Chains A and B, each alone.
Chain A
């Protein structure tokens, strides 16, 4: 048993919370009023990026339960069906974690391409579940635009995540 000093352990705990807090931040930031016309309907799916990114690089710091809770918070904040985003994020997390061996050490374009596939899949799942929930064939245009925007800004957002992941790397 190597017992580190309290301050070190506290720092380690706090740093290990960063991915979870970032996920929550993503949920809230996406809900902020931007003042841009029509933007609220197609705001990039920030939480999806967080879940995919941490699922590949540090799944130990963003466990499935935290992903699930983050999805529920997003459902409440957006006012959508409770469980919809939780389901989508859990599925993305499962894909990220199960395919991480493939992505680790690969170049960024490969990771981005993987993210593109995952986002499109998530969009289709969300659209089907929401259509069933509302018992209506929802217009897929908004979600399609949202998915494309999400894929487009992925490199930018993950740059921030990379910064954060340097902070949480074990010493």
Chain B
């Protein structure tokens, strides 16, 4: 039965006072940290990154069995749908092969036009892959942790994508791990463009599963099903990354559903995108 703790029968008055003092002190310390953290105090930031460096290896180790279990479950599930999956893939493969030949034709045509116009080629993008080791966040923030950090070239501000599209950006880069702020987080703002009509807008997260499209020109016509991609404005994300589709337009609110599903994230790619620099800067850098 649950009868324990017969030690410390009656707390001594002095001990009680010390205890109460400790409580008040620690509550005060928490409140002070909140205020300092809000003001982005460098000491609090350093504390955060120090604990981050220590905590992430622990998470990485602990996440191994969870991921192994998830994979096993997926494998068992897929056993039951192999036949259907095979049919689906055959069909998709046929469709993709058709697209492949179309794309090849377009690529050549595009290259020909580019050379005619003497257009500058877009900078190429390298990427760093990381495994998701933390699906933290809780009820107020939407972030994930990956096991790639500054050592592998991850910097704050870089875009994070999956095969389906953009998921967010790096907000904290430790040595071996980094934190990604998902598009759905309250503090996420991404400059985007509607792919068809080329109207520019800002995609805001509000901690729900979908995002809100704001700062759209009044004249813009938006309908459900429109594709949203990054615009490359502001020099944060490379242009043209798929983000999501407009799901509803009602009462002045335009909601966007991300292409990338956040619940089955396992690997994430961080894009190392070199923004074209103004000529003067390039000249300064070259010896």
* Residues of B near any A CB (own CB < 8 A): 2-5, 7-8, 19, 22-23, 26-27, 29-34, 37-38, 44, 47-48, 51-52, 55, 58-59, 62-63, 66-67, 70, 132-145, 171-172, 179, 186-187, 206-209, 261, 263-266
Contact = CB atoms under 8 A, between A and B. Distances in A.
Contacts of A142: 139-140, 207
Given A67-B26, A87-B30, 11 more contacts: A33-B265, A64-B26, A77-B55, A80-B140, A82-B37, A83-B29, A86-B29, A105-B2, A127-B139, A129-B34, A146-B138
19 contacts: A31-B59, A31-B135, A33-B66, A33-B133, A38-B263, A40-B144, A42-B139, A79-B179, A80-B137, A80-B140, A80-B141, A81-B37, A82-B48, A83-B29, A83-B30, A86-B29, A97-B19, A100-B5, A146-B139
Contacts, number: 179
Interface in A80-98: 80-84, 86-87, 90-91, 93-94, 97
B48 A78 contact: no
Bin the interface of chain A by size.
35 or more
A165 B2 CA distance: 10
A35 B5 contact: no
A138 B140 contact: yes
Contact of A76 (B48, B171, B263): B48
Contacts of B27: 87, 90-91
Contacts of A102: none
Contacts of A43: 138
A58 interface: yes
Nearest to A76: B51
Contacts of B266: 33, 35
Contacts of B171: 79
Contacts of A73: 51, 55
B162 to A, nearest CB: 14
In this complex, which of A35, A93, A127 has the most chain B Cβ atoms within 10 angstroms of its Cβ?
A: A35
B62 A78 contact: no
Given A32-B66, A33-B67, A77 B186 contact: no
In this complex, which of A33, A65, A134 has the most chain B Cβ atoms within 10 angstroms of its Cβ?
A: A33
A128 B27 CA distance: 15
Contact of A78 (B7, B37, B141): B141
